[in-house]
Structure 1
């Protein structure tokens, strides 16, 4: 049975628009600020993930969870902090505002996505969620792209001459395929874990990427970066211990309730 327009507009469309807002605002912000500042500001998405998770009752409030999020946000900023260069446009207010808006959209879209996966009969698995969410997201990004960049910037880009048509198309398709597989894995994770777990897993990926880039490619890390790496790793362990302890308590409570029911 096809999904009704009212249900699509009330549940699917908000998720699509939040996803488009996250991607679009993030990409446009690079015209105004440096990559290092973008990465630092985008860590605030963890705070928004927690905020919307609590707002939509996807997370239970706990002071330790709040502390974990605050400490991890600070440690990630330390981990990616780079000294500014003369070419950096580090403090453009418009760029900063765009990144913060993208971070808010990121928290909102993950909350919407988990709600779809758990409570919408049409989007109970990863594939069906992508199937319903993608069209409106693509349409919103297409309109956003036309308004910001225009069609001529795409068709007359220098890359078509430098790389050729076939190579340029492959350069678009291959990253798109990787993004699709990543999204598929993320949506699958949301069916079995809390929304904030996904965000922290993403930060764990950043820790591994920075550590390997230092070992393999010889990237220089400052003392602040190293302290941030260590603190982020410790905070990830703290979060895992918190989740383990929380799940253990819930399991124990269920066992106790079951014993009490048998006595009755």
Structure 2
């Protein structure tokens, strides 16, 4: 749903606008992390999320080409992205699932994603216009389109694999917030290649988002350096390893209840 809703939104809105709205995904991810006990709420984290939220609001303010359904689709995609990465962290870090290898996890989730996407495509996409599309109306256009899809698919595969590896050793929140840098690159490419409009208000919003990301990375670095003072029974090296990622809290409680 994350991928499909993102693609659906691009029918209505520009790449730049969609990418900026999708930058709200860390907010929803943190809420899911609280709900699934991957992280304890803190004022610092909530403050950082507020800064990122303000940045997102600035990017959509005075949007001259605002499309209601495009905005709804991309925000729903941001919610699904938060849920998706929360589930990914649980699957990768919980021992009982046996999916600590990112490639193993991909072998399970990719067929499900492909099947669900194909079903939605058959229902909603205008397949009757396929033959008349300028991307598939000649042998050269078919070859070019297939090569472009193969190239984009390869990049997407390695991007997701890298993200899964990072989630397995850090946390979903860390990966997603740091990934806002990727969104910034997407915006720059869209402005220069697709000539999307980039106003000063959007620039301020983007800078605000990046400032929030920097604060989060500083927060995580500080936490890694200090360790967790509330867990004195755990060795210092263990504390540093746990501080580097969002610990699944219920597993720590199980350890405390054990011998």
Scaled by the length of structure 2, what TM-score is found? Answer: 0.77
**Which residue is equivalent to 1:4?**
none
Q: CA deviation at 1:61?
A: 1.2
Give the secondary-structure state (helix, strand or coil) at the position aligned to 1:123.
coil
Alignment coverage as a number of residue pairs: 234
Contact 1:45 1:107 in 2 (8 A): yes
- Given that 2:102 and 2:161 are in contact with CA atoms closer than 8 Å, whether structure 1 keeps it comes out as yes
Aligned-partner Cα distance in 2 for 1:215–1:29: 21
Alignment pair present for 1:109 and 2:78: no
Residue 154 of structure 2: which of 177, 188, 194 is its match? 177
Post-superposition Cα deviations, 1:55-76, rounded to whole Å, max 9, x if no partner, equal 1112221111011012013224
The answer to whether the aligner puts 1:27 opposite 2:15 as a matched pair is no
1:228 paired to 2:185: no
2:91 matches 1:91: no
The answer (yes or no) to whether the contact 1:46–1:73 under 8 Å persists in 2 is no
Deviation at 1:121, TM superposition (A): 3.7
Hey, what's the Cα distance between the residues in 2 that align with 1:124 and 1:175?
A: 26
**What's the counterpart of residue 43 of structure 1?**
23
Deviation at 1:240, TM superposition (A): 1.9
The root-mean-square deviation of aligned C-alpha atoms, in Å, is: 3.1
Q: In the aligned structure 1, how far is the partner of 2:84 from the partner of 2:33?
A: 11
For residues 217 and 91 of structure 1, what CA distance do their matches in structure 2 show?
18
What is the alpha-carbon distance in structure 2 between the residues aligned to residue 192 and residue 130 of structure 1?
16
State the Cα deviation string for residues 67-115 of structure 1 (Å, max 9, x = none).
101201322453576752xxx3x232x3332222211111110011111
Q: Structure 1's 37 and 57: CA in aligned 2 closer, same or farther, altered over 3 A? A: same
Query: Are the structure 2 counterparts of residues 32 and 46 from structure 1 closer, same or farther at C-alpha, using a change threshold of 3 Å?
Result: same
CA distance in 2 between counterparts of 1:139 and 1:218 reads 34
Give the Cα separation in 2 of the matches to 1:218 and 1:25.
23
> 1:127 aligns to what SS in structure 2?
helix
Given candidates 64, 70, 74, the residue that maps to 2:44 is 64
Match of 2:136 in 1: 160
Structure 2 stretches lacking a partner, 5+ long = 237-259
| Displacement of 1:193 | 1.2
Q: TM-score, normalised by structure 1?
A: 0.75
Structure 1 position 151 matched with structure 2 position 152: no
Separation in 2, partners of 1:49, 1:165: 39
Does residue 227 of structure 2 align to residue 250 of structure 1? yes
Contact kept? 2:24, 2:56, Cα under 8 Å: no
Q: Is the helix fraction higher in 1 or 2?
A: 1
Query: Secondary structure of 2:169's partner?
Result: coil
Match of residue 118, structure 2, among 99, 122, 142: 142
Aligned equivalents of 1:221, 1:166: Cα separation in 2: 34
Among candidates 106, 114, 130, match of residue 130 of structure 1: 106
Note the C-alpha offset of 1:192: 1.2
Change (3 A) 1:150 1:210: closer
